[in-house]
Amino acid sequence: MTTLARKLGLSHYFSLAWGTMVGVGWLVVMDDWLKRGGPAGGLIAFAIGGVALLPVAYVYGQLIKLMPDAAGEVAYVERAFSPGLSYPTGWIMLLTYLIVCPWEAIAIGRISGYLVPALNSIELYRVGGSPVYLPHLVIGLAFTAVFTAMNYRGIQLSATFQNWAAAVVLALIAGVILLGVPHGSAANFVPAFNGSPFVSVLLMLQVVPYFMTGFESISKSSEEATAEFDAAGFGRAMVLAIGVGTVFYLLVIASVSYLAPWQSLLGERFATAAAFEHAVGHRWVVNVIMGAALVSLLKIMNGTFVASSRLIFALGRRGLVNERVGRIHPVNRTPSTAILWTGAATAAGVFLGGAILVPVTEVAAVTVALGWLSACASYLRLGPSSRGRAMAIAGVGVTGIMVLMKVLPFVPGHFSRYEWLALAIWCLIGWAVKNRVKAG
């Protein structure tokens, strides 16, 4: 039987984890973060989120060592509980990854339009009040085609691109932050919270899981490690990705709030860029930030594309969806059919336009927390050591709270009817797919 190509090492896994985690939320929805929590609310929420996810990363590291399977949570639930629960788990987790691909493709068009205003023309239609421009659509579809082709060719090409992109983003943002520091003032942090401290932190904590999603995507490419790869490296790569990702978010939020009065940034389309332009006084710094954002978009789109296609492939290999998507290309040794399906789903999502950017973070924040919860519960049921048991219990507690924060109706910022509707539609699609597989 043809197996997936084994080409990935520690640096690749770090780049896939960190690159899939850190996209352009720090630019595109910074104003939403400040509106939710103010600077202190954002900083505290991301610090809590980073620390709280360390037990979850430990659990994933142990599970991947035990079961290096592209199915990830599907395999863990199947072994610990029941095959009947594995499909719902996989379908919910698939939404987490698959929905990010069009998110990034749409954002590429928006950022391109900011750099070249002429691209904000030829409005085709509106979705949720947001215009969909033809040039944005073409750009999003073009990059979807590029990443589909690149992933079809081989995992090494995707992983090498991920390494390069991660290094460029870290270098550019570090340089911009150092440039901006002399131009800020601590007075810009006042008031520290947008409302009461508790509610400010709570509202931010509700979306932090979405912006920390990605470290666990390593499990989806775990079958593609080189033969000499030390399995302990999976856990190290995830912990490092969480650490670097948390520090990245903290530095950006602190820098933006330091450089300009944060309340003046509410409603700004790209609040991070606006803050740096206000402080430095030169347009070129905005172009550098936008360039970093474009590269960051490309890396997260590539990372989630890898995770989505591998999860679809694993579902097909298990016969949980159409078995044809479980096919491996005989030459490239990639899940070629699953990659084409991922590309098609991404292209379809691009047509939804920018209206999905903020609402999608709400839904995906719950679906990823459910996936993390399933992994921690599975590990706990498999009977780990005393240390592993403590980590698993901590993970179950953290991820359970993340889910409850969004579904309990008395908690500020809970799911609206539109978010429940979106989740219900996805579940109905999954039910229909499952029934069709049974009937076929």
Q: Where are the domains of the chain?
A: 10-433
* Region class of 328: left (phi > 0), else alpha (psi between -120 and 50), else beta: beta
Q: What is the pLDDT of residue 254?
A: 95
| Alpha carbon distance, N-terminus to C-terminus of the chain | 24
Contact (CB, 8 A) for 242 and 215:
yes
Q: What is the pLDDT of residue 360?
A: 65
Q: What is the pLDDT of residue 209?
A: 83
Structure tokens at 196: 């009461």
Q: What is the pLDDT of residue 356?
A: 63
Instruction: Give the residue among 164, 29, 105 at the shortest CA–CA distance from 304.
Output: 105
Q: What is the pLDDT of residue 439?
A: 67
Instruction: Give the residue among 204, 241, 334 at the shortest CA–CA distance from 13.
Output: 241
Q: What is the pLDDT of residue 440?
A: 63
Instruction: Give the residue among 347, 108, 103 at the shortest CA–CA distance from 213.
Output: 103
Q: Letter for the amino acid at 34?
A: L
Interatomic CA distance for residues 65 and 235, integer angstroms = 9
Interatomic CA distance for residues 430 and 434, integer angstroms = 6
For residue 131, whether the previous peptide bond is cis, meaning omega lies within 30 degrees of 0, is no
Class (C level, CATH) for 10-433: mainly alpha
Which pTM value belongs to this model?
0.90
Q: What is the pLDDT of residue 322?
A: 87
Contact (CB, 8 A) for 40 and 194:
no
3-class state of residue 127 by DSSP: strand
pLDDT along the chain (440 residues), means of 10: 85 93 86 93 95 95 94 94 90 87 84 86 85 91 94 92 93 91 90 92 87 91 94 95 95 94 88 89 87 90 93 92 91 94 92 69 80 95 92 95 86 79 87 79
**Cα 254 versus chain centre, distance:** 22
